[in-house]
Structure 1
Amino acid sequence: MTGTGTTDGWTLFVIAGMGGVTVLTRCFFFILDRRWAMPDWAQRALRYAPVAALAGVVLPEVVMSNGHLVATWQDARIFAAVAGGAAFFWRRSVLVTLLVGMAVYLPLHLGLGW
């Protein structure tokens, strides 16, 4: 074990390696000497990335609480998500979606304690 204020060589090597990998991945397209195009299959797959992010991040946050499925219908998140989804399909605007979702969520959560 190292003393207070000292760093061993292995830690410095890992930090330098992670920094090098970060610089390389961020500068990858600048380092190349010719134009690089993504394959068609990768471009098609990227079209589904926003939907996959919503399914992987937002959906569990809406339907789960403390690692378990919401057991009651009295949950403000569910009503806000449904209202926000309806607003999006009505106006096709992310701002309107956020405003409508929060306009439904806040009164239910703060007013009724859901």
Structure 2
Amino acid sequence: MTMSETHIWLIIIGMGIGTFLIRFSFLGIIGDRKLPEWVLRHLRYTPVAVMPGLVAPLVIWPQATGGDPDPARMAAAVATVAIGVATRNVMAAIFGGAGVLYLVMWLVG
């Protein structure tokens, strides 16, 4: 299926307008109003809900290995979660997970 250049540009422009409207509906329309406490409470959990969705595919089906599970990335993910739970410190979890990733990659070869 080949698409013309005009068709591709129409899709790009349409998606840009749609993205703008989604963001504007939240930031532009209600951005200067005080939100109810229950909405603010739910918004605090947004990063916790989004991060696993971004990170899990990179751990389970890493592009670097052609989609095969990798023991180094699995070990780094487990170490990151364990360090984060134990220390309650995001930076310690990030650097600890990165350290474990590179250590296991170095050990495995």
Query: TM-score band (shorter)?
Result: 0.5 to 0.7
Aligned pair partner of 2:101 in 93, 101, 105: 105
Q: Secondary structure of 2:55's partner? A: helix
Residue 50 of structure 1 is matched in structure 2 by: 47
Q: Secondary structure of 1:82's partner? A: helix
Please report the RMSD computed on the Cα atoms of aligned residues, expressed in angstroms.
Answer: 3.8
Provide the rounded CA distance (Å) in 1 between the counterparts of 2:44 and 2:20: 27
TM-score between the two structures when normalised by the length of structure 2: 0.60
Q: Measured at CA, do residues 99 and 37 of structure 1 come closer, stay the same or move farther in structure 2, by a change above 3 Å?
A: same
Provide the rounded CA distance (Å) in 2 between the counterparts of 1:24 and 1:54: 24
Flag the structure with more relative contact order, 1 or 2, with Cα contacts below 8 A and sequence separation at least 6. Answer: 1
Q: Deviations over 1:63-111 (max 9, x none)?
A: 12338xx2xxx52011011111111111111111122112211021133
Task: Give 1 or 2: higher helix fraction.
Answer: 2
Aligned pair partner of 1:37 in 34, 37, 47: 34
Q: Secondary structure of 1:81's partner? A: helix
Letter of the 2:97 partner, please give it.
G
User: Which has the higher Rg, Structure 1 or Structure 2?
Assistant: 1
Q: Measured at CA, do residues 100 and 41 of structure 1 come closer, stay the same or move farther in structure 2, by a change above 3 Å?
A: same
Letter of the 2:78 partner, please give it.
V
Q: Measured at CA, do residues 110 and 45 of structure 1 come closer, stay the same or move farther in structure 2, by a change above 3 Å?
A: same
- How many residues align structurally? 101
Unmatched 5+ stretches in structure 2 = 1-17
Provide the rounded CA distance (Å) in 2 between the counterparts of 1:111 and 1:38: 51
TM-score between the two structures when normalised by the length of structure 1: 0.58
Q: Deviations over 1:22-63 (max 9, x none)?
A: 999999978x8xx51224453233122111211210112111
